[in-house]
């Protein structure tokens, strides 16, 4: 009887948890215009926190340290916007021309196969069904979604400032709230340390990847190299398939604008850059302790894209890694984090200790 009651209790708790999860997901989807800027601000603040701590270790007052870091972020964002904004506008304006020319090339290719005896069921229907120009239009949709999010720049900026100002006192507040003066919270510390390590290293690797892609495309003479470099930077947050998604539109544009050889060189460049950065540099710096299985990456891409829109595609893996790190910080939920990770995961290197600076 007691065992039966325990089983029923577990079933009821599982149903309640599932219902609560559905309500939370529906709330996130409904509050997308507010949630997305807040999430972007939180990730930017986590990435900037080591720089703030470094300045404070040099005895810079907290307010000035936050101000210097935020001004640096604003300068970088404005510089990127100045370089990429005009390219995005020109690309959107010339997108119909590229799509039409790409469709003509596909039609010519199908006709070439037909002339040599290959049976093509219905070239017109096949061309309408398999339209490679859709990849170019999806790029415009994705970048426009990013631009819409950055349009809330003032809200994001203010949120980053307040998060950075409160970060140093958050641990003290938690200790006082739970009446644990002077004690530590290893779970919270492990989560914060792992999240900061992931975001900082991933951002640096993505920045180098985007820069190399832009330089390589500029050497080849492909139009809008800065735009494709930005796309490679953003999609590099999606492991396994992000580099493939970034290479498709740039390769198609090289095919339309230059030649098949140029398109193959673009693919080769993406392949070399991502092998070096993704398989050699990034694992050496970060380890694979925060990795996700390819299946989890695929489903997180679909799920967060559905919940948060185009920006959710970029935030999908950071959000999933956040959930995984949070699950790893507790013994009771660590088994779920193991299921989310890759098959063979070597132990991740210990995060570097951060300097502790006194409040100004």
Question: Counting Cβ atoms within 10 Å, is residue 269 exposed (0-12), middle (13-18) or buried (19+)?
Answer: buried
Band of residue 269 on the pLDDT scale cut at 50, 70, 90? very high
Higher pLDDT, 87 or 126: 87
- Residue 345 inside a domain? The answer is no
Q: How far apart are CA 340 and CA 321, in angstroms?
A: 9
- Residue 1 inside a domain? The answer is no
At 355 the pLDDT is 46
SS (H, E, C) 53-106: HHHHHCCCCHHHHHHHHHHHHHHHHHHHHHHHHHHHHHHHHHHHHHHHHHHHHH
Band of residue 352 on the pLDDT scale cut at 50, 70, 90? very low
Band of residue 213 on the pLDDT scale cut at 50, 70, 90? very high
Residue 271 clears pLDDT 50, i.e. is over it? yes
What SS3 state is found at 187? helix
Residue 122 clears pLDDT 60, i.e. is over it? no
Give tens-digit pLDDT for 16-32.
878 888 888 888 888 88
Residue 174 clears pLDDT 50, i.e. is over it? yes
Q: How many domains does the chain have?
A: 1
Q: Mean pLDDT lowest for which of 71-85, 110-124, 162-176?
A: 110-124
At 1 the pLDDT is 58
Band of residue 349 on the pLDDT scale cut at 50, 70, 90? very low
- Residue 267 inside a domain? The answer is yes
| CA distances from residue 280 to 128, 204, 274 in whole angstroms, order as listed | 41, 14, 9
- Residue 19 inside a domain? The answer is no
| CA distances from residue 262 to 138, 235, 266, 304, 338 in whole angstroms, order as listed | 22, 22, 6, 34, 42
At 212 the pLDDT is 93
Structural domain for 57, as ranges: 32-165+189-340
Q: How far apart are CA 36 and CA 150, in angstroms?
A: 10
- Residue 14 inside a domain? The answer is no
Give tens-digit pLDDT for 295-347.
887 888 888 888 888 778 778 877 887 788 777 767 777 777 788 776 655 45
For the chain, percent of residues with pLDDT exceeding 90:
5
Contacts of 101 (CB under 8 A, 6+ apart): 256
Residue 354 clears pLDDT 70, i.e. is over it? no
Q: How far apart are CA 202 and CA 199, in angstroms?
A: 5
- Residue 180 inside a domain? The answer is no
At 135 the pLDDT is 60
Residue 63 clears pLDDT 80, i.e. is over it? yes
- Residue 233 inside a domain? The answer is yes
């Amino acid at each position: 009887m007691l065992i039966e009651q325990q089983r029923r209790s577990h079933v009821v708790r599982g149903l309640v948890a599932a219902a609560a999860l559905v309500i939370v997901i529906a709330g996130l989807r409904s509050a997308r215009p507010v949630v997305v800027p807040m999430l972007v601000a939180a990730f930017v603040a986590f990435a900037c926190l080591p720089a703030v701590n470094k300045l404070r270790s040099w005895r810079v007052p907290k307010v000035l340290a936050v101000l210097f870091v935020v001004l640096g972020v604003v300068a970088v964002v404005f510089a990127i916007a100045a370089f990429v904004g005009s390219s995005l506008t020109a690309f959107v304006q010339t997108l119909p021309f590229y799509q039409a020319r790409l469709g003509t090339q596909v039609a010519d290719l199908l006709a070439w196969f037909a002339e040599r005896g290959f049976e093509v069921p219905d070239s017109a229907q096949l061309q309408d069904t398999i339209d490679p120009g859709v990849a170019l239009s999806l790029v415009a949709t994705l970048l426009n979604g990013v631009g819409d999010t950055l349009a809330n720049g003032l809200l994001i900026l203010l949120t980053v400032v307040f998060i950075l100002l409160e970060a140093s006192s958050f641990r003290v507040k938690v200790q006082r709230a739970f009446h644990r003066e002077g004690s530590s919270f290893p779970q919270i510390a492990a989560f914060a340390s792992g999240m900061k390590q992931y975001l900082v290293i991933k951002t640096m690797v993505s920045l180098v990847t985007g820069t190399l892609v832009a330089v390589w495309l500029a050497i080849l003479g492909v139009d809008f190299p800065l735009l494709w470099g930005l796309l490679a930077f953003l999609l590099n947050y999606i492991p396994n398939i992000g580099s493939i998604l970034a290479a498709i539109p740039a390769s198609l544009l090289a095919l339309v604008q230059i030649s098949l050889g140029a398109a193959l060189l673009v693919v080769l460049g993406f392949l070399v850059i991502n092998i070096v950065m993704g398989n050699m540099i990034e694992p050496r710096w970060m380890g694979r302790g925060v990795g996700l299985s390819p299946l989890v990456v695929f489903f997180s891409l679909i799920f967060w894209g559905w919940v948060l829109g185009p920006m959710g595609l970029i935030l999908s893996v950071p959000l999933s890694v956040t959930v995984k790190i949070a699950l790893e910080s507790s013994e009771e939920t660590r088994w779920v984090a193991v299921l989310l990770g890759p098959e063979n995961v070597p132990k991740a290197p210990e995060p570097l200790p951060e300097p502790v600076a006194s409040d100004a």
